[in-house]
Amino acid sequence: MLLNVILIYSVSDYFKKYYNIIINDNLNWSVIYSRGRICASKCNFNILGFNPFDYLNSHNRMIEGYFYNNYAPTRTQRMYFTPENAGRIDFFRFQIEQWKTQNLLTYDEYCYLMASLIESVSKVSNTAGVYGAYLKSWDKRALKAIEFINVPFINEKVKTIFQYNDKIENIIEYVECDIIYLDPPYTQNQYGTQYHLLETLVLNDNPEISKITGSRSTAPMRSDWSKNYKAHILFEHIIAKTKAKYVIFSYNDDGLMSKTYIEAVLKRYGKLDTYTCKKIPYKQYKNWKSQNKDSHFEYLYFIEKKDYSQVIYESPLNYIGSKAKIVKDIKRILPSKANSSFIDVFGGGFNMGINSEFNHVIYNDINFFVTDLIKSFYTYDTYQYLLYIKKITDKFGLEKANGKAYIAARNYYNSLPEHKRDSRLLFTIILYGYQQQIRFNGSHQFNNPVGMRWFNDKVLEKMISFSRVIKEGKFTFFSEDYIKLENHIDKQSFVYMDPPYNLTTSSYNDGKRGFKGWNEVLEDELFQFANRLNKRNIYFMLSYVIQHKGHINEKFLKWIKENNYNLIELGDIIGISGSRRKEVLVVNYDI
């Protein structure tokens, strides 16, 4: 089991008799504390030769050390501990380190004593529960004399234990485990700031500290889980990359990520029939932000992961003619991808190309606005992209069905020269347009009307997962008439063609948008292009429509029969407008 959170000890301590345990946290103190609690039952202190708890509690020795000088009102005004307790903490810490240096403790025994020290310190700290700041007057518990007490633990021996001390995103791809349990930070509060004192206690490195709170530098301890959007990006990355078969995820209803977003990620990577979410109420300390909330909930999620080959990614563009719903069916018909290129000559929303898993993928679309949109997810850092979307959304007040704000943003985009139009700006505007469609007039002015959609968390998940995959692969982008791509096609290429359909008319093929439309002449040109590929022994796949609204493309059927191509019927496909179309695939290879 891979555990990656502060306060993970209760979970790992419970399961230690059932599983081999792997623990990880970005904070040193959390890893040491967790290991100490997990391994406590096997610590007998045979090398030391006596009970260290009895020894440390047998006298009142103090040391005027780091804690005495910095966290008690002695040489500073800080009131984390009374001078007496701070001096005792310094003595406990010194003695434990000395025993370790003299090789009188096993590593597990050292961790057990350090965990007990952390537990003992928490009983007399003059704080409100965390160490971000001290109280300005003495709490009753802080005035009690400190005792060196046992950390609580379940008296069962751990099978095996291994520890990491790193950010989860740095190690997730390398950790072999069956079950991963994740309970990350869920608010903007940085744990490094809240627990700086325990980090200093464990590291024993006498750091330079801030003048007021006495905090060590928290920069190395900062976590992206406590940043909006970065938490979303991290979560998707972790779930995608973990080698675990089972994922258990705990999150709070006050967290940065919504339940909708978490569910979208887990359902992308998990087997749908295994997805589970339990809502668990609990009491929470109420501050000024949460005092008006009647109840608080912890959500506990579970999935069994799919095989990665079964994961389907979706374009964040709601493109007409999208293959998102049938990618899985099409993938089964693709030939081997070994040492070959996948060439998507009518790229559109790129649902097929992003899922092709070929070594090299070439994207092409004659509409350079669309090519630039797809390329933007490849080019721009995803976090910075999201910040840009938020900036534009806030600037114009974009929201669902707000026509005034939408028109203002659209007019601003159209007022810019084409070479200065930012694809990120266009994408942001598209999100609030009618059915989130991409529609220009003959003068290349974006003219889609306002819609009832917005940048919701399902679109956010599509964008984040799509952006990660496109950044990790080898992709090349073109905006050409597909005929000009023949020079880039060789015998190692696989050509996928998803052109406009001659039986249907949409905003991308009516010839009124400043780009080529689609007609019988261009359809003949496509058939000839495919025939030339076939003569060169280059595999291709053509996605097309035979029948629509009672009309049948007889010429298309004749071309298939004359060339002895294979026809695969996919049945009725529901488009983004709710209309149905009967799609087929044509391939020139055996299935």
pLDDT 10s digit of each residue in the chain, 591 long?
A: 454 333 355 788 888 888 899 999 999 999 999 999 999 999 999 999 999 999 999 989 999 999 999 999 999 999 999 999 999 999 999 999 999 999 999 999 999 999 999 999 999 999 998 999 999 999 999 999 999 999 999 998 888 999 999 999 999 999 999 999 999 988 888 888 899 999 999 999 999 999 999 999 998 888 999 999 999 999 999 999 999 999 999 999 889 999 999 999 999 999 999 999 999 987 654 443 445 555 678 999 999 999 998 999 999 998 876 787 889 989 999 987 766 899 999 999 999 999 998 999 999 999 999 999 999 999 999 999 999 999 999 999 999 999 999 999 999 999 999 999 999 999 999 999 999 999 999 899 999 999 999 999 999 999 999 999 999 999 999 999 999 999 889 989 999 999 987 655 454 444 444 456 678 889 999 999 999 999 999 999 999 888 756 678 889 999 999 999 999 988 666 554 455 567 899 999 998
Round to whole Å and give the CA distance between 563 and 490.
21
Select from 244, 259, 285 the last residue of a domain: 244
Q: Look at residue 428 and tell me if it is in a domain.
A: yes
Same domain, 240 and 367: no
Question: Which residues contact residue 441 at a Cβ distance below 8 angstroms, ignoring those fewer than 6 apart?
Answer: 447, 512, 513, 514
Question: Which residues contact residue 567 at a Cβ distance below 8 angstroms, ignoring those fewer than 6 apart?
Answer: 560, 584, 585, 586
Question: Which residues contact residue 87 at a Cβ distance below 8 angstroms, ignoring those fewer than 6 apart?
Answer: 62, 63, 64, 65, 67, 68, 72
Q: Which of 39, 42, 43 is nearest to 16 (CA)?
A: 39
Same domain, 331 and 240: no
pTM for the model: 0.89
Task: Quote the pLDDT of residue 339.
Answer: 66
Same domain, 380 and 476: yes
Q: Which residues pair with 2 in a beta bridge?
A: 22, 180
Round to whole Å and give the CA distance between 545 and 497.
12
Same domain, 399 and 530: yes
Q: For 368, how many CA atoms within 13 A lie in the half-sphere containing its CB?
A: 8
Domain that holds residue 511: 324-587
The torsion angles phi and psi of 277, rounded to 5 degrees, stand at -135, 120
Task: Quote the pLDDT of residue 507.
Answer: 47
Is residue 246 within a helix (H) or strand (E), and if so which, with residue range? strand 246-252
Select from 229, 244, 259 the last residue of a domain: 244
Q: Is 454 left (phi over 0), alpha (psi -120 to 50) or beta?
A: beta
What value, to the nearest 5°, has the Cα angle with vertex 450 and ends 366 and 258? 95
Distances (CA, A) of 523 to 352, 512, 535, 570: 21, 18, 19, 21
Distances (CA, A) of 563 to 101, 520, 539, 559: 81, 19, 14, 6
Task: Quote the pLDDT of residue 549.
Answer: 63
Q: Look at residue 415 and tell me if it is in a domain.
A: yes
Round to whole Å and give the CA distance between 64 and 70.
10
**496 is written with which tokens?**
């996928």
Same domain, 237 and 328: no
CA–centroid distance for 433 within its chain = 26
Q: Look at residue 503 and tell me if it is in a domain.
A: yes
Q: Look at residue 295 and tell me if it is in a domain.
A: no
Number of domains observed in the structure of the chain: 2
Same domain, 233 and 332: no
Question: Which residues contact residue 44 at a Cβ distance below 8 angstroms, ignoring those fewer than 6 apart?
Answer: none
Q: Look at residue 258 and tell me if it is in a domain.
A: no
* Four-residue CA torsion sign, 388, 391, 396, 398: positive
Q: Which of 527, 534, 548, 498 is nearest to 370 (CA)?
A: 498
Select from 183, 218, 244 the last residue of a domain: 244
Round to whole Å and give the CA distance between 472 and 13.
37
Alpha helix ranges (H) inside 205-350: 230-241, 259-269, 327-331
Same domain, 231 and 343: no
CB 195 within 8 A of CB 125: no
Round to whole Å and give the CA distance between 128 and 126.
7
CB 562 within 8 A of CB 516: no
Secondary structure of residue 582 in the 3-state scheme: strand
Round to whole Å and give the CA distance between 202 and 210.
18
Distances (CA, A) of 176 to 61, 502, 567: 46, 51, 43
Q: Look at residue 250 and tell me if it is in a domain.
A: no
Q: Look at residue 61 and tell me if it is in a domain.
A: yes
Q: Look at residue 304 and tell me if it is in a domain.
A: no
CB 520 within 8 A of CB 473: no
Round to whole Å and give the CA distance between 245 and 262.
18
Same domain, 360 and 491: yes
Distances (CA, A) of 375 to 6, 342, 416: 38, 16, 20
Query: Burial, 440: exposed, middle or buried (Cβ in 10 Å; 0-12, 13-18, 19+)?
Result: buried
Task: Quote the pLDDT of residue 488.
Answer: 86
Distances (CA, A) of 374 to 52, 76, 330, 379, 394: 63, 57, 21, 9, 24
- CATH number assigned to the domain comprising residue 335: 3.40.50.150
Task: Quote the pLDDT of residue 336.
Answer: 79
Residue 4 is given by DSSP the state E
Placement of tokens 């071309």 in the chain: 559
Edge-to-edge strands, sheet with 161-164:
161-164, 21-24, 2-4, 179-182, 246-252, 296-304, 276-282
Same domain, 362 and 217: no
Q: Residues 81-97, buried b or exposed e (16+ Cβ, 10 A)?
A: bbbbbbbbbbbbbebbe
CB 196 within 8 A of CB 131: yes
